[in-house]
A and B are shown apart, each in its own frame.
Chain A
Amino acid sequence: MSTATDERTTARRGKAPAGERLADWADGRLGVYGAAKYGMRKVFPDHWSFLLGEIALFSFIIVLLTGVYLTLFFVPSMAQVEYHGSYVPMQGQLMSEAYASTLDISFDVRGGLLVRQIHHWGALIFVVAIFIHMMRVFFTGAFRKPREINWLFGFTLFILALFTGLTGYSLPDDLLSGTGIRFMEGAILATPVVGTWIQMLLFGGEFPGHDIIPRFFVIHVLLLPGLLLALVVAHLILIVFHKHTHYAGPGKTNTNVVGMPFFPVYMAKAGGFTFIVFGVITLIAGTVTINPVWTIGPYRPETVSTNAQPDWYLGFSEGLVRMMPGWEIVLFGDYTLNLGLLIPLGVFPAMLVVLMLYPFFESWVTKDTREHHIAQRPRNVPTRTAFGMAWLSAYFVALVAGGNDVWAINFNLSINAITWFCRIGFFVLPVLVFFLTRRICLGLQRRDRDKVLHGRETGIIKRLPHGEFIEVHEPLPPAERYKLTAHEQPRPLSLPPAVDENGVERKVGPLEKLRARLSRGYYGEQAQIPKATAEEYREITSGHGHH
C-alpha cells in the first residue's frame, strides 16, 4: 500500500559528499540506480504461505555455505587407507579415503561435525521446504498464466535437489551410501539394452570400481549446485518480473499487488527470517544426530544393513521398489526383463512428470488464457484440489512403503502386512481421496455461502417470546464477505449444438468431447456451489432480519 519514496536531491550545488559521488560514479557505469529503484519499489504481499519459498531459499544458502567448508576437508577418493584418527572403535580398519576424511571432518576438524550436521539437516529441510512451497503454488493455482514457466523452473529445481541429495548422500562412502549406490547400479542394470553400457560408463568398470565417488563429487559440488544456483536466480528474477500473487481482499485485485515495499520493510523481514532459518537449522544440527557415519561403518560390497533407506526425498522411489513384487520375464529364452525394478523405474518419473505438466493440462481443459494474479483458495477449485490430494496420497503411500521395516519394528506390525496395505493403498487410496476431497471442498464452499448470507454463529442462544430458541448470527464484516465471494465461478465449456443452423451435422472431435467432459468435472454443478450473490444477501438481510 505504500510506495517507496525516493527523493534524490540532485539539485544540490557544490561538491557532493564522497559517498554520493561514489554512488554516482558506479551508477554512471552500471546503471545500478535504475535497477535498484525498480527492485526496491517491488512489493511483497504478507502471508505466511508466501514465506515457504523463502525457507527453501535460505536453507539452500546454508547448505551452499556449509558445503564449501566441507569441501575443504573432504577427500573424494576410493583408495583404501587404514584409519588412525581419533575415533577409537574404528582404529586400524581399512576404509576408503572418502570415508576416512568424513570421520576426520566429524572428529578432528574444528566444528566439522556441526557443519556436517548443518549441511545434512539443511539439505533435508531444503527439500521439505521446496516440496511444501510447490504444494502451496499448486493448491492456490499460482502456476496459472503468466507463471507456467516459473512453475517449470521450480519443478526442475525440485528434481535437481533430489539428485544433489542423492549424490551427496553417496559421498561419505559409508554403509548406507554404498548400499544406495549399489541400489542405483541395480536399477541401471535393469534397464533393457542400454543398462550395462550406462553402468560401465558411469562406474568405469565393475561395481564399485574407483571412479564413482570422484565423479559424484564433481556432480555434487560443482555441476548440480551451479545449475541450482543459476535456476534459483532465474526463478527469483521471474518472480520480480511477474510480481507476486496475493489473496483476494478489498483493494487486492487481479491488477495490483498489495504488500510491503521490498525496501526497507520486506528486506528487514527477510533478513530477520534468514537468521531464524539459520538459527533453527543450526539448533537442530547442534542437538540431533544425522547420518552418524562413524557407527554406520565403511562400505564394503559384502556388507549390508536393515533400515537402509535413502534420505526422505527419494523415499518414495525406494517405496515403489519395495511395493513391487519381484516379477521377471525371460525373453527369447535368455534375456531377462527385471520387472521388479523396471516398473518402479518407469512409475517414478511418471509420477513426477504428471505433476510437472499439470498446469498445461488444466489450461487445456479450461481454455483459460487470461492472466491470473489472485491466489485461489483450494476449496474453490475442488477438482484440482482433489487431484493434488490424490497425487499426494499416492506419493505418501509410496513413502510409507519405503520405510516398511522401520514401521514394522516400531509398531509391532508384520512387514508383509504393511507391504500389502501399501500395494492396495497405492491404487485405492488416491481414488478415495479424490472423491473425499471434492466432497469436503464442496462442503466448505457451502459453509462459505452460509457464512456470507447468515453470518457467523455466535453461540448465543436467544429465546423468542413464543418459546422458540434461536442462535444469534452475527453478520460478517464486509471485508470478510468480499473475500468469500471474490472468486470466479466459470461455466463449463459446452459443445456447440450437434447440428448447425443449416441443419448440417457438426463434426466434434473425440478430444473436444473429452475436454468438454473434463471441463464439466471442473466447473459443472457437482464441482461448485453457486456463491452467494449480492441480491441474495440483500434479500435475506432486508427481509426478516437475520438470526
Chain B
Amino acid sequence: MKKLSARRRHPLAALVVLLFALAATGGLYAALAPAGEAQADASETSIAVEEGKKLYLVGCATCHGSEGQGTSDGPSLVGVGAAAVDFQVATGRMPLQQPGPQAPEKPVVYTEDQIAQLAAYVASLGPGPAIPAEEEYDPQAGDPAVGGELFRLNCSQCHNFTGQGGALTDGKYAPDLTDVDPRFVYEAMLTGPQAMPAFPDTVLSPENKRDIIAWLDAVNTEKAPNPGGFQLGGYGPVSEGLFAWTFGIGALIAAAVWIGAHTAKAKKS
C-alpha cells in the first residue's frame, strides 16, 4: 500500500489510471453491450455518443470536465439533457468564448449532425429533457390567446410583454425573442438557460408551451402584422417618448422656424 501511495504523484500515474479506466470501460462494455445486430438503433446511438464524446473532449471538456462533471469554468452537464445542449450549441451560445455576465449568442460552430452527436453524448451522462419533436413546437397547433396570458404570467417580467427583451441585474439580460426558432423557445422553457428559470412539464404542460410559442408567432415575428405602423422596437412608453421628443416636436419646430422666417413684409398704409 505504501508503495502505491508513494507512486501516486508520479507523472505517469494519471496516464496509468486513464488506461486502466479505459480498459475497464471497454471490458465492461464488451461484456454488457447487447449482442450484435439485435439493436441497430442502439448502436447508431452509441456511434453518435462516441462521436459526440470526441467532439466534446476537444471543444467542451476544458470547461465542463472530461466526464461532464463540471469545473470551476463551467457547470456540470450531467442530467441537463439533449435539449440543453441543442439549445446552447445550436444558438451559438456554447462553446463559450470568454467569461462574462452571460453567454452571448454567436455564429454556430458545429454542423447539425455534430450538435446531435454532442447532444447524444451529454444525454448519455444522465437522464434529462430530450430534444422536442417537431409537432410539439408547431405554432399552428397552439392557442395564441392562452399563450399570451401564460406569457404575461411567466415570461414578460423578464422578456417584456411581447418578448422584445429586457434587462436583468448586473449586465445580464433576457434576450429579444423576435423570430427565435420555435424549437429553441421550447428548449429554453424546458431547460432554463442561465438566469432563466426552467419550466418543466410539471409547471407548464407541453400544450401550454405550444400555446406560448403560438402567441410569440402571432405577435413577435417579422411577418406578424403591425396594425399600428412602425413598432419603435416595441419597448413601450420610453421609445414613444423619445420619438415624440425627436421626430414629433422636431418636425413641428422646423415648421415653426419656417413660418417665423417667412413673414409678410409690413406695408405702411
Whole-angstrom distance between the Cβ of B257 and the nearest chain A Cβ: 4
Complex contact A295–B219 (CB within 8 A) = yes
Chain A residue nearest to B252 in the complex (CB) = A55
Complex contact A176–B252 (CB within 8 A) = no
Give the A-B pair count, Cβ closer than 8 A: 219
Task: Annotate A396-425 by CB proximity to B: 1 below 8 A, 0 otherwise.
Answer: 000000111110111011111100000000
A: interface residue count bin: 35 or more
Q: With A89-B215, A106-B227, A288-B243 as known contacts, state yes or no: A176 contacts B248, CB within 8 Å.
A: no
Q: With A46-B263, A296-B161, A415-B169 as known contacts, state yes or no: A52 contacts B228, CB within 8 Å.
A: no
Complex contact B261–A124 (CB within 8 A) = no
Complex contact A124–B241 (CB within 8 A) = yes
- Determine the chain B residues whose CB is within 8 A of the CB of A414 once the complex forms: 101, 169-171
- Determine the chain A residues whose CB is within 8 A of the CB of B264 once the complex forms: 260, 265
Whole-angstrom distance between the Cβ of B230 and the nearest chain A Cβ: 5
Whole-angstrom distance between the Cβ of A139 and the nearest chain B Cβ: 15
- Scoring B237, B248, B266 by chain A CB atoms within 10 A of each residue's CB, the highest score goes to B237
- Determine the chain B residues whose CB is within 8 A of the CB of A91 once the complex forms: 145
Chain B residue nearest to A273 in the complex (CB) = B259
Complex contact A284–B173 (CB within 8 A) = no
Q: Name A309's contact: one of B153, B156, B238 (CB within 8 Å).
A: B238
Chain B residue nearest to A51 in the complex (CB) = B256
Q: Name A288's contact: one of B145, B230, B266 (CB within 8 Å).
A: B230
Q: Assess whether A107 is interfacial by the CB under 8 Å rule.
A: yes
Whole-angstrom distance between the Cβ of B162 and the nearest chain A Cβ: 5
Whole-angstrom distance between the Cβ of B146 and the nearest chain A Cβ: 8
Q: Which of B232-269 contact A (CB under 8 A)?
A: 232-245, 247-249, 251-253, 255-257, 259-261, 263-264, 266-269
Q: For the complex, what is the distance from the CA of A295 to the CA of B148, rounded to whole Å?
A: 8
- Determine the chain B residues whose CB is within 8 A of the CB of A295 once the complex forms: 161-162, 219, 234
Whole-angstrom distance between the Cβ of B241 and the nearest chain A Cβ: 3
Complex contact A305–B160 (CB within 8 A) = yes
Complex contact A416–B256 (CB within 8 A) = no
Provide a sorted-by-A list of 5 A–B residue pairs whose CB atoms are within 8 angstroms: A93-B148, A128-B248, A309-B236, A406-B167, A414-B170
Beyond A2-B269, A311-B241, 12 extra complex contacts between A and B, CB < 8 Å: A55-B252, A117-B229, A125-B244, A128-B245, A265-B264, A297-B152, A309-B236, A311-B237, A311-B240, A415-B169, A416-B171, A417-B171
Task: Give the interface of B toward A (CB within 8 A).
Answer: 101, 144-145, 148-149, 152-153, 156-162, 164-171, 173-174, 215, 218-219, 226-245, 247-249, 251-253, 255-257, 259-261, 263-264, 266-269
